[in-house]
């Protein structure tokens, strides 16, 4: 039940379900948060016991339990991550997908993945090429401990749209560059990619004064 304390047996049960099923299993909405709380509790107990006696039987048991849960947590994410990627690929191709089996945290990741796939599909279908938004070089006299701030182009290049990034965007690959867009970045992007970001609410268009 959501909100209950989770333990190793529950984590192992989820792992077995994900490893045996082709599709995603249904998790409690706060599953990942509860696992994180469980891990944090184990780490705190282990630190306390290790400070008392690092060679005690209790410390050994805590270390073993922590090792097991960390391993299974990673494996659960790998299984679910692969399934989510296939779902997103199908959805980008127009298929109907059931995202109700995703936890809220996973749903956020799924939406971010869809942004990347949608932008890639637009490029492949010839609706614009994504080129790097280049900033002018920093002055040579700028010190390493106090670098000059990066500047984005004041006016977008032809057929480009000037955007302000409203929240961090997961890295995605263009034709010849990997984009790493962060909150408050000002970048010049092709219309197709700009449309994807603005529709998702992760960016807003800037209209520079001439």
Backbone angles phi, psi at 63, to 5 degrees: -60, -40
Query: Between 191 and 89, where is the model more confident?
Result: 89
Quote the pLDDT of residue 176.
54
CA distance 16 to 204: 44
**More confident: 141 or 45:** 45
Its pTM stands at 0.58
- In angstroms, how far apart are the furthest CA atoms of the chain? 73
| Residue tagged 């939406």 (tokens) | 111
> Degrees (nearest 5) of the Cα angle 17, 20, 25?
40
> Which tens digit of pLDDT belongs to each residue from 169-209?
876 655 456 667 888 777 777 777 777 788 888 888 887 55
Q: What is the pLDDT of residue 38?
A: 95
Q: Which residue has the higher pLDDT, 18 or 168?
A: 18
Task: Spell out the domain ranges in the chain.
Answer: 1-91, 103-130+151-210
Nearest one of 149, 162, 159, 151 to 210, comparing CA atoms: 162
- Condensed to tens digits (0 to 9), the pLDDT of residues 91-127 reads 877 788 888 899 999 998 888 888 888 888 777 877 5
Predicted confidence (pLDDT) at residue 3 exceeds the cutoff of 80: no
Separation between Cα atoms, residue 2 and residue 103, nearest integer Å? 12
Domain 1-91, CATH: 1.20.58.1030
Phi, psi angles (nearest 5°) of residue 162: -90, 125
């Amino acid at each position: 039940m959501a909100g209950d304390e989770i333990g190793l047996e529950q984590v192992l049960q989820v792992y077995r379900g994900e490893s045996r099923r082709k599709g995603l299993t249904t998790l409690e909405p706060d599953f990942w948060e509860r696992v994180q709380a469980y891990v944090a509790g184990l780490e705190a107990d282990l630190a306390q016991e290790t400070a008392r006696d690092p060679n005690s039987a209790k410390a050994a048991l805590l270390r073993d339990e922590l090792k097991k849960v960390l391993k299974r947590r990673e494996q659960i994410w790998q299984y679910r991550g692969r399934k989510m990627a296939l779902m997103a690929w199908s959805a980008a191709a127009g298929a109907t997908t059931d995202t109700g089996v995703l936890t809220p945290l996973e749903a956020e990741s799924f939406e971010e993945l869809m942004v990347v796939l949608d932008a890639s599909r637009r490029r492949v279908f010839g609706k614009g090429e994504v080129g790097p938004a280049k900033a002018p070089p920093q002055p040579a006299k700028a010190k390493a401990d106090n670098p000059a701030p990066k500047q984005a182009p004041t006016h977008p290049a032809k057929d480009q749209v000037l955007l302000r990034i409203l929240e961090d965007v997961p890295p995605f690959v263009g034709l010849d560059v990997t984009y790493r867009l962060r909150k408050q970045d000002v970048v010049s992007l092709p219309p197709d990619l700009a449309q994807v970001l603005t529709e998702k609410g992760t960016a807003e268009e800037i209209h520079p004064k001439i």
